[in-house]
Amino acid sequence: MIITGECFCGGVKYQIDGRLRDARSCHCSRCRKAFSSQASAYALVDAAEFNWLFGRNLLTSYVGDQGFGLQFCGKCGSTLVGIFNESVHGVTLGCINGDPEIEIGKHIYVGSKAKWERIPDGVPRFNEGAPKDT
């Protein structure tokens, strides 16, 4: 499967030659700030299947103390991918073009979600991160 994604201004574009996995929505306060939303919508990807098509020079990175971070377009601000030790480990679902053939399978860190947010019924919820085997 070929999946493409791009930022809001179209200056950065990527391609994934494979499938996404483990889609989740994170409701922690850090994701709310990073994504300017009530939660993040994010799925994991194999780094070997990910390729920047163009605009890599526009990327800006934020990396925390643990080596995890985000890369976003320095022109329009769209958060595109999550990184760990400088390697792409996941993509934001909002920047994907078309149908990536995946659905949010769990909501994590709902214990710290915004009080004004309502999470739909029927999707697994975890007050913190999900156990490793889910």
70: enclosing H helix or E strand? strand 68-73
Mention every residue, 6+ apart, whose C-beta is less than 8 A from residue 120. none
pTM of the shown model? 0.86
CA–CA distance, 3 with 98 (Å, rounded to integer):
8
Residue 82 near residue 42, CB atoms below 8 Å = yes
Tens digit of pLDDT per residue, the chain (134 long)? 999 999 999 999 999 999 999 999 888 888 888 877 888 899 999 999 999 999 999 999 999 888 789 999 999 999 999 998 888 999 999 999 999 999 988 888 888 888 888 887 888 888 887 766 44
- Going by C-beta distance under 8 Å and a sequence separation of 6 or more, which residues neighbour residue 45? 16, 18, 20, 21, 88, 89, 90, 91
Amino acid at 132: K
Residue with the two structure tokens 């601000």: 77
The residue written with tokens 């030659």 in the block is 17
- List the domain boundaries for the chain: 2-112
Class of domain 2-112: mainly beta
Q: What is the DSSP letter of 120?
A: P
